[in-house]
Structure formats: C-alpha cells, structure tokens
Chain A
C-alpha cells in the first residue's frame, strides 16, 4: 500500500516527504548526539574534550573508566544495585498481591480500597519529604539502604498496582472460581494461577519500577549522606563536584552510571515500552 502511494505521489508530495525526512533526521540527531558526545568525550583527555569536541578521540583512554571506577563509582553502583533490586522485588510482590485481591477476591469496599492505593500516585514526594525525613530518622534507618527502599516501595506501589491490576482484570474470573471449586485457597490461586498468567506484565512492572528507583533523586538526596550508601544518581553529584576540571573522568563515570539501564533497555525494549504505555494510555 505504501509502495503504491509512493509510485503515484506528485512532485510536491515527494518534496514534502523528503522535507519531513530531513527534519526527522535533525530531531534524531539532537536527541542522541549529546549521548554520543558524552560517550566519545569519556574516552578523551579533558583538554581534547573541548578543543576537539566533534572528533573521535585521538586515543581511546580506557584509563578514564578505571579512574572513575576507583574514584567511587563502583561503590555507588553497588548501592544502586542493592537498593534497586530490593525495592523492585518488594514492589512487584506487594503490588501483585494487592492487584490480585482487588481483582479476584470478595472484598467489601473494593472501589474505595483501590482508590486508597491509586491515590498515592497523585502525591508528589516533595509533599511528604519533610515528615518522611523525620520518620526515617525516628525509625533509625536514616543513612541506610532501608531509608531508600521503604519510601521507594511505598511510592512505587500505586502505579505498579495500577499496571498489574489492569492486566489481571483481563484474566477470566472463572479461573479463580474453578480453583475455588477445586478447593484452592486464595494463596494457592494467587501463586499458581494469577502470578504465572501475569508474567508479561510483571516483567514490565519490574522494569519500570527498577528504572524509576535507579533514577530516583530527591529521596536519595535527602535520606542518606555517607558515600557508602549513596546511590549512583546522587553519588554522581558528589563525584562531579569532586572532579570539577577532570571532565573526562567525570564523563566516564556518567557513562558507567547509565550503562546498566541502557543495556537492560536495549535488550528488553518491548517489555519496557509495553509497560510504560499500558500505564499511561488507555
């Protein structure tokens, strides 16, 4: 069909198409060139970086990466991985349990309970930040991984529950009823029917939660202070402050901090985008 319309297009249509095409190439370039520049610069020396901004590195300086790694990026990375894995696992487990109850179990006030969970998504973290800071301190978890994991879970639940629920609603209720007739309790049905059947959305939900946690900023800025607990988003701030001037090493550190999420995205692009769009578009 496209071929056909291409054969019959007039001169002005062709001009419009090429015009659009070049415009899109410019947009694409604006979109990704900063990342390319970041990557290339991370292999240069600092003077070369600004002096020869547009060129390939004269020599690929892997030592920038070694320096960044040794300078503390490795520790930030470990913290980020721990916090992200723990938060994501807890979010997905709790959210799928909640979604299952909302979809398949007999509840009084189901609509209210759903709103009670979903409502959390309209509260920006800034609003709770000050009292949360005190809570975290009072619980004695300030400056530990828990100071991040617990709030991340609480703030991650509404959206994730929404996402998983939207998927579980489409699982025929008759499956749960058949299980009930077969003598299954709610836990059995959750574990043996709903979870296995929700695997695609669980993957998407985990990916999105992981990305959000990995990139989270304001809690990480507020609830931890030791370098050993800082996640990479905040770690990069101290890193950059410490390295003002040694741009190239700083950029190597930035590339390292992006790399995990970048790789995951490229490998699992479909689940990634699938989950994001299910949440936002009807």
Chain B
C-alpha cells in the first residue's frame, strides 16, 4: 500500500522543489508587490499606512514617470527596428550563401560576440567610447572633419537616451541575427529552389519565402524584444543611472531609485506594478505563441 501511495505522489516530488521556489521567490513577491503599492511605507519607519491608490495618483501625476514610459517606448521601437527588421535582413543575407561558409561563420561570430559580455563591461566600455573629445566616437568625428556633430553624448538631455539605446542595439542585434538565421535555415530549401526555377531574384526570394517562412519566429522575437525594452534596467543604471536630469530615466531605474535611494517604497511598488502589467500583457501573448508547438 505504501509503494502504491509512493507511486502516485512521486511525479509531484519531481516538480515540488521547482514550484516551491517559483512560488516563494517569483510569484508571491510579485503579488506582495501589488499589496505594497497600496501602502505608504519606507524601510526606516516600521509602520506602514494604507493609502489606497494614492501611490498611483502620485505616479500618474509625475512627469518623471511619463518621461520614463516614453523612454521605454522609444527603446522598444528602436529595438524593433534594429533587432527585428535589420537583424532579419542581415540573417537572410548570411543564410542565402552570398558569402562562403568561412566568411559567413566569421560574420556570425563577430555579430554575436557583444551579447555574451556582462552589461557592466558594455556600459563602462561605451562610457569611454562616448567620452567627449578623447572618446573613440569624437576622435572619429574630428578625424573626418565632422566635429560639428560632436556632443557630450551621455551628458546632454537631447542625446543621452539615444546614445544608451544604441549601445543596446550594438550588444543585442547580433544575438537576434543568430536566432533569425536558425529560423531561416529551418525553411525547406526546395521552396527557394522552386522559386529560383521561376527566375526570382534574391530580393524576391526574401519577400516571397523568407519573410512568410519566419513569420511566427519574427512575432515571438518581436515580443521578446518589446518585453526586454520595458524591463530594461541594467545598461541604463550602469551608464547614466537615469540622468542627466532624468533624461534617460526608464521605469526600471525610476522604480529602483524610488525604492533604494529615495526610500519611497510604496511609490516604487506602484511603478513595479505598472511594469508588471505591461510585461504581463506582452508575455501572455508570447506564451500563447510558444505553446502552439
């Protein structure tokens, strides 16, 4: 009888540790966070006070919050352009055999390499590259007589956000290229051969076969990209910490500063809740797509 019971519960024993960890350290905190957002409290004062939706009212009245949201959206749009559209084209060219296999592998590895770097290294490295006058970019501009284009890239409100976003593109576009290459390679080659028999050019092949062939993968990768854009934190924290003057603030940095620098935890929790609902919407779509296999 004991063996019988054991047989019935054994399958759940395999899942138990994972579920326990997920519930205690992922799901429960996410829910707790929503509760926190209804209170006014801080780590120095023990007591907390129920304030209903006050934190949200404050949040939606805050200019920094809206600025952060716009920055996240900008981040998403630029990332889609580079990491989805641009990456798809590059991947298609690499797969199409325009170059020999050796050169193709070299390009693939070269594009992919930045994605394995820790974000701190990327951030610090590009801080140096963006240095006014002595940084690589300004040196390049001066050398080519374009010094009028020079900026204090990370120090001016007008340029800081784009500068940081471009670093992200530098780091992740190659990664997406590799993912797209795999998706394109999964398209049966006889489709291309059939179209080539009809005399289609490479560009026609791209639009008639490659694009429809990777439609679903593209959708998933686009969602992953948007997802990443709304939870971005690290690269910005390393490079600018949201400055100057909140010009490069995103929801993640806004939340972090509120929680761990300004000690307005209820407000921070409200920001986190907004991030939660945005990513939940995006993520729900992703899981639905991924489950279709």
Whether A121 sits at the interface, judged by CB under 8 Å, is yes
Count residues of chain B with CB under 8 A from any CB of chain A: 94
In the complex, A55→B122 CA distance in Å? 21
For A187, the chain B residues whose CB sits under 8 A away are 10
Assess the B234–A217 pair: CB atoms within 8 A. Answer: yes
Assess the A186–B10 pair: CB atoms within 8 A. Answer: yes
**Those of B257-272 within 8 Å (CB) of chain A:** 259-260, 265, 268-269, 272
Assess the B293–A190 pair: CB atoms within 8 A. Answer: no
**Those of A64-98 within 8 Å (CB) of chain B:** 94-95, 97-98
- CB contact between A120 and one of B12, B22, B36, B251 (< 8 Å): that residue: B22
For B18, the chain A residues whose CB sits under 8 A away are 94-95, 97-98, 117, 157, 161
- CB contact between A222 and one of B22, B93, B124, B260 (< 8 Å): that residue: B260
Whether B106 sits at the interface, judged by CB under 8 Å, is yes
Whether B64 sits at the interface, judged by CB under 8 Å, is no
- CB contact between B233 and one of A97, A161, A217 (< 8 Å): that residue: A217
Assess the B275–A124 pair: CB atoms within 8 A. Answer: yes
In the complex, A126→B269 CA distance in Å? 9
Interface class of chain B by DSSP:
helix
**Those of B263-285 within 8 Å (CB) of chain A:** 265, 268-269, 272-273, 275-276, 279-280, 282-284
Q: B-contacting residues of A (Cβ < 8 Å)? A: 2, 17, 20-21, 24, 27-28, 30-32, 34-35, 37-38, 41, 50, 53-54, 94-95, 97-98, 100-102, 105-107, 113, 115-133, 135, 150-151, 153-155, 157-158, 161-162, 166, 185-187, 190, 211, 214-215, 217-218, 221-222, 232-234, 236-237, 240, 247, 250-251, 254, 257-258, 261-262, 265, 269, 273, 276-277, 280-282
24 pairs, CB–CB < 8 Å, chain A vs chain B: A31-B174, A34-B126, A34-B129, A50-B131, A97-B18, A122-B283, A123-B26, A124-B276, A127-B275, A128-B26, A128-B30, A130-B272, A154-B21, A154-B25, A157-B18, A157-B22, A215-B117, A217-B118, A218-B233, A257-B118, A265-B113, A276-B178, A280-B224, A282-B217
